[in-house]
Amino acid sequence: MAPLKVLVIDEFDSDLVLEQSLTAHGYQVATLKLQALNLLAVVKSLQPDAVVLNLYAPCEKVLEMILSINQEYSVPVIVFAEDQQTETINKVIKAGVSAYIVDGLEPRRIKAIIEVAIARFKEQKALKDELQKTKNQLEERKLVDRAKAILIQSQNYNEDQAYHALRKLAMDRKVSLGEMAKNVIAMAELFK
C-alpha cells in the first residue's frame, strides 16, 4: 500500500516536529508555510490524503479556505492550534475540520490523531453521501408522483396505469424514471 500523502501547513518557522513525526511514521509529507498561500490551489495540485494545519489560531481567511476545501475536495483537515476559546472551536467545527487539537502537538500522538481524523472523515462522508442519495430519491419520488398526477388528469388513467405508462416511457427511451417524470412535467407545462 502506498504511503498516505499529507499536506502540512505550518505557521511556525522553527517547528519541524509535525513534519518529522509524520515522516517517521511513513507518511509522504509536503510542508508549506501559511503566509500568502492559496491553500485551495495547493490541495488541487498535490491531491493529499489529509491536510494538517499547525497554527496559533485559525483566522477567518483560514476558516474560509478550510470550508472551500471541504466543499470542493474530499479530504480530511486536521488543525493543531493554541486557541482554545469556545467561539473558535465552534467556527472550526462549522468549517468542517475533522479534528481540532489544542496544545496537543506531541510526536507520539500525531499518528493516532491523523488516523482517527481520517477514519472519522470517511465515516462522516459516507453518512453525507447516504443522506444525499436519500434526498435525491425523495426528490425523484416527488417528480414521479407529480408526473403520475398529470397523466391521471390528462389521460384519465388510474394511479397504477399512470405509473406503468411512465415506467414504459422511461424504459423505451432508456432514461431513469425520475428523468422521464421531469420530461412529462416539462411537456405538461409547455402545453398549459
The predicted-structure confidence for 147-173, as pLDDT tens digits, reads as follows 999 999 999 999 999 999 999 999 999
- Using alpha carbons, select from 21, 186, 4, 190 the residue that is nearest to residue 104: 21
Mean pLDDT, rounded, of the chain: 89
Considering the entire predicted model, what is its pTM?
0.75
Q: What is the 3-state secondary structure (H, E, C) of the chain?
A: CCCCEEEEEECCCCCCHHHHHHHHCCCEEEEEECCCCCHHHHHHHHCCCEEEEEECCCCHHHHHHHHHHHHHCCCCEEEEECCCCHHHHHHHHHHCCCEEEECCCCHHHHHHHHHHHHHHHHHHHHHHHHHHHHHHHHHHHHHHHHHHHHHHHHHCCCHHHHHHHHHHHHHHHCCCHHHHHHHHHHHHHHCC
CATH number, span 5-105: 3.40.50.2300
Does the pLDDT at position 177 exceed 70? yes
> If pLDDT is split at 50, 70 and 90, which confidence band does 192 have?
confident
- Residue spans per domain, the chain: 5-105, 135-190
**What are the residues facing 102 on neighbouring strands?**
81
Does the pLDDT at position 1 exceed 80? no
5-105 with 135-190: one CATH topology? no
CATH number, span 135-190: 1.10.10.10
